[in-house]
Structure 1
Amino acid sequence: MHTEQENDGRRHVPVMLPRVLELLAPALEGRPAVVVDATLGLGGHSAALLAAHPQLTLVGLDRDPQALELAGRRLTAYAGRTHLVHAVYDQIADVLAELGLPRADGILFDLGVSSLQLDADERGFSYSRDSDLDMRMDPTRGPTAAEVLNTYAPGDLVRILREYGEERFATRIVSAVVKRRDKAPFTRSAELVELLYAAVPAASRRTGGHPAKRTFQALRIEVNGELEALRGALPAALGSLSVGGRIVVLAYHSLEDRMVKRELAAGAASRTPVDLPVELPGHGPELRLLTRGAEPATDDEIQDNPRAASVRCRAAERIREVAA
């Protein structure tokens, strides 16, 4: 159970907050502007943006109703400038249209599982505490992690562990899962953690981190359709940016980061054929990259906030209208 201190967000430390504020500021400061926090969570980034920009209107999206409730409490002082919406981030364009906001001046994605979800024992995201094998970011819909483990064909489970968890021992793990579920279905996270300890070779456990980390990540991504949603969200977000608007994306594993890198790089590239000596009208880059590659958190921030250890930040500015 959460303490009140946890629930009001004071223990939540937003990842790379100073850098996020710095990257978004030129698109927001000194004028009425609209920013979309596509992954609202407990509202830490949003609160700081609203405090820094008195004319800012914030649109906060989250698929987790509990997150929306807690963030709403945190942002009470800014209620007149906020729209908090129960939605997945691939619905950005639809949400802006419904609110009568034609474009956004800033968009932030803080991908992956939120502090709220990791810290909630009953949600099943953490392999360090026993709980129901749920892992749904929106607990009102979709299959649970237990249902995935108990009902998916072995080949599909192997694919999920390999693609989403980059798990070398996927076949070995799935073989153990199938034998176990034939006797009794999975219901608790501790049952899966125990199986993973037995299935992953001891040498890998000594050097590769916790043996459950990759499998839990893979199940979470499958349960929530995270990569599929991100695949649709990135072009929708870029298409919603005004000229001069900026997007900042915080990614926590290589699958997300590669997707973000490809999308931003494509927007920052010229579409003029390489053998032409001049830029064709309307074929120039639509984006300007604001980070040199993917920026990590600083050592000081990682020390203060261990969850920042794997973050990679990429950002871009729209410099030209979207090509027709």
Structure 2
Amino acid sequence: MFSGLSAFPITPLNEDGIDEAAYGRLVRRLVAAGVDSIGALGSTGCYPYLSRAERARAAQLAVEHADGVPVMVGIGALRTRDVLALAEDAQKAGARAVLLAPMSYHALTEDEVYGLYQAVTRNLSIPLCVYDNPGTTRFNFSDELHGRIAQLPNIGSIKIPGVPAEPAAAAERVARLRALIPASVTLGVSGDWFGAAGMNAGCEAWYSVIGGLFPRTTLAIARAAQAGDAAEATRLSERLRPYWDLIAKHGGSLRVTASALDILGLVSGACLPLPLKALPDAERAGLAKLIDTLELA
């Protein structure tokens, strides 16, 4: 469940709810490409913008269209009570794992975050992936906190936000964290431009937004890293440098992903919850050219 390429698709939305036909197409496309698992309702899946009923439906749709490929479902919310309810919905939908980031409006302490994971894991019958995403949550996990949480029951993986670019430093970062967690808990890298570096450094999984958009391209990088061909994984990732630069320019993957899906005809126009918007027309034209130049489609 927590190894290889875990592809995170967007949840295509309109103001009436989920575009269920488009969502089904996106999930089936990932299955056809051969991804190792599917991450529903991650950050690019817009989970904080959805009601509980919409999130339950998205989880059901992901499992239904995944055709047996393991599905992990995001359950982050502001209150522990709501996280527990979302965890129950995900389990009822047939999710094989859940993903939890420590969301909050007020800054959380380490003891509060530990208490959150303690309460949730106590009530789970499936594994949980710890979502370390300081760019969104504004909470910075210490390695020691990761070590404490990893000892809880049902912890299956830790999704780290990236690794240093220099290979020796990346390997040292992964080794330092791994020394604090049980062998049964895997490490997965996120932040797509860190994917190759993280897997080359020893992360078992790549939790990938671009994997939910261009799965075949991403699989080539992941498979090279898994085979121990660090040079090829790095080469394939560096080839995508213009795409990584575009994501950085726009503050993350969400708007770029939404625009790319529309360019490819995989969604019907706007697919983000207002007030969020995709790229403006001038940037969209550049993205379309980039997709063609890099042969991503």
Give TM-score scaled by structure 1 length.
0.32
Give TM-score scaled by structure 2 length.
0.34
